[in-house]
């Protein structure tokens, strides 16, 4: 069931979104060569505590997962697409790092992700990240009253196809609000003019995930959570929580 939010609810989600933005900024600044992924999770937990918020990731267990998620953020490195569990791995020069996080504050949730390079960038990685960011921007631009979910999906998918990137097609964006995952689903590929109609007050997490090697699909790591590219190529993930409004898309997870 799709819940249309009031303007007051969207304002409350915006406050949760500010916390998410602070987490992503703090984690990105802390992500230097030699830092452990568990250290980044501790940075996120500190921001959540200071804000009086909680992580909707910690303890979350969707139907596909063998165990509850054990951390407050996902950190996916290099060929990991999404859902990476922070562990003792120490960041290396040139690593591509995707950080996905959420915050729940006063009963409302926001969710966002960013991918960046630690240390010395490789040209192909820069292009992958920039293209994924451009796809997120295109998806957000399509989130207008009168459009449909398929318009968001088609905008993202067209950029992936043009660039020759693959996607994990079983995973994409989603509705969000009182819970991290709500209806409707927001795929990263689709046909314009199809799917749920976009109305004022609809809150969505839009999140393109691109694979450099061009193959669609993924393989699941032994932890049952982390999705890796099917060919070992690098991946990028970008996400914002947005609200569809009569005045255009409102991004709730910017600083």
Sketch the domain layout of the chain as residue ranges: 7-251
Rounded CA-CA distance 19/34 in Å is: 26
How would you write the pLDDT of the chain (255 residues) with one tens digit per residue? Answer: 999 999 999 999 999 999 999 999 999 999 999 999 999 999 999 999 999 999 999 999 999 899 999 999 999 999 999 999 999 999 999 999 999 999 999 999 999 999 999 999 999 999 999 999 999 999 999 999 999 999 999 999 999 999 999 999 999 999 999 999 999 999 999 999 999 999 999 999 999 999 999 999 999 999 999 999 999 999 999 999 999 999 999 999 999
**Per-residue three-class SS string for the chain:** CCCCCCHHHHHHHHHHHHHHHHHHHHHHHHCCCCCEHHHHHHHHHHHHHHHCCECCCCCCCCCCCCCCCCCCEEEEECCEEECCCCCCCECCCCCEEEEEEEEEECCEEEEEEEEEECCCCCHHHHHHHHHHHHHHHHHHHCCCCCCEHHHHHHHHHHHHHHHCCECCCCCCEEECCCCCCEEEEECCCCCCCCCCECCCCCEEEECCEEECCCCCCCEECCCCCCEECCCCCCEEECEEEEECCCCCCEECCCC
Q: With respect to CATH, is domain 7-251 assigned 3.90.330.10?
A: no
């Amino acid at each position: 069931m799709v819940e249309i939010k009031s303007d007051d609810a969207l304002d409350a989600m915006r406050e949760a979104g500010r916390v998410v933005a602070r987490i992503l900024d703090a984690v990105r600044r802390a992500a230097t060569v030699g830092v452990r992924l568990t250290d980044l999770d501790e940075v996120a937990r500190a921001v959540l505590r200071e804000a009086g918020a909680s992580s909707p990731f910690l303890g979350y267990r969707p139907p596909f997962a063998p165990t509850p998620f054990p951390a407050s953020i996902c950190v996916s490195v290099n060929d990991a697409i999404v859902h990476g569990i922070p562990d003792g791995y120490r960041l290396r020069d040139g690593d591509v790092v995707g950080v996905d996080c959420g915050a729940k504050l006063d009963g409302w949730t926001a969710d966002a992700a960013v991918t960046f390079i630690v240390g010395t960038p490789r040209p192909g990685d820069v292009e992958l990240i920039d293209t994924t960011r451009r796809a997120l921007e295109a998806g957000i631009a399509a989130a207008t009253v009168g459009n449909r979910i398929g318009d968001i999906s088609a905008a993202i998918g067209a950029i992936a196809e043009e660039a020759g990137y693959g996607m994990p097609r079983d995973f994409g964006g989603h509705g969000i609000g009182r819970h991290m995952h709500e209806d409707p689903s927001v795929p990263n590929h689709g046909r314009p003019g199809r799917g749920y109609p976009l109305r004022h007050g609809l809150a969505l997490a839009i999140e393109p995930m691109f694979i450099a090697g061009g193959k669609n699909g993924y393989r699941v790591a032994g932890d049952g959570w982390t999705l890796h590219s099917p060919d070992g190529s690098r991946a990028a993930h970008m996400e914002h929580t947005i609200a569809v409004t009569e005045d255009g898309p409102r991004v709730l997870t910017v600083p």
